[in-house]
Amino acid sequence: MLKALPLNKRGIPASRIALGCMGLGGDWDHEPITAENVKQGHEAVDAALSIGINMFDHADIYTRGKAEKVFGQIFKDRPRLREEIIIQSKCGIKLMEPGDSTNTFDFSGQHILNSVDGILSRLGTEYIDILLLHRPDPLMDPEEVASALHQLKAAGKVRHFGVSNMSAAQIKLLQTYCDEPFIVNQLHMSLAKISWVDAGISVNREPWKDIIFPEGTLEHCRMENIQLQAWGPLAQGLFSGRSLEDQPENIVQTAAMVQQLADEKGTTPEAIVLAWLMTHPAAIQPVIGTVNPKRITACADADKLELSRKEWYDLYVSSRGSKLP
């Protein structure tokens, strides 16, 4: 039986799976959203709701703000929807514009405040349920961040806060200065992105030095009741129908194993891939990135499946491409 989500333990009635909305809004340009973009959004929302998903994950940069604009139109078309779902968004990345040489990260207080005002305007709502700080900013002043988050909470614009792509040490630094608890950490985790598992089994072994996943991050989140969310949990379809041409043998073999398990359990490869994450006792919440209704509904069985310890390890070792010590 799956463990309750840390979010649920905090009284937030989030679904076991969330829908990531990065695919909404069309291209990453400055063109206005279209009726077709909005139609696609409605279809994705309907598919998500049909399998019990009530949490939707955004970021201010997704399709340069157009993903949130699509959702804003959905709220206009369905005004009761806002109070029936949980909205999470992120800020802190500044996308490259003409004349820039790179994207940059910005956790300055003013940028955070301005970003949230933009998010609320595009969504057409007075508040968001959770705001995540998107990627670590090397120039971050935690006291400045704390002041901005305090202002957002006091104004009723954000109910809860979290982070994305951060280590335990980075979370601890922020939490030292912030009164509000950080309740989410969204990380890249999937059956293809397994460094979060490798980090734990490789302590005091030679391979550990080559693993960049920060040691202790999962453990810290579990101890502090911080919701671990997995972005990219479907591994861009590697194990559920995407072409495997030019993929390494371990990926090909793992895809075959996933399909075999799906056939044996009478479900879909997508459900098996998500169930592998959700079997972990950390109560990981996958944030699926597809907005294709068929692929969304293909995930329906994920929270009903139980993988045995052997099945879990067989998938892990196959993806890893090497036996455990």
Active site residues: 62
Burial (Cβ within 10 Å: 0-12, 13-18, ≥19) of residue 47 = buried
> Looking at this protein, which amino acid is placed at residue 267?
T
> Is residue 299 within 8 Å of residue 269, measured between CB atoms?
no
Alpha carbon distance 107, 148 (integer Å)? 9
Q: 109-123 and 142-154 are packed helices; what angle lies between their axes, rounded to 10 degrees? A: 30
- 206 φ/ψ sector (left φ>0, alpha ψ -120 to 50, else beta): alpha
Q: 309-320 and 269-278 are packed helices; what angle lies between their axes, rounded to 10 degrees? A: 100
CA 9 to chain centre: 19
| Phi, psi values for residue 286, rounded to 5° | -70, 140
Residue in 163, 104, 95 with CA at minimum distance from that of residue 139: 104
Residue whose structure tokens are 């400045």: 144
Residue whose structure tokens are 């790179």: 102
Residue whose structure tokens are 């597809």: 290
For residue 154, what are its two tokens? 């006091």
Alpha carbon distance 98, 30 (integer Å)? 12
Alpha carbon distance 189, 185 (integer Å)? 12
CA 254 to chain centre: 23
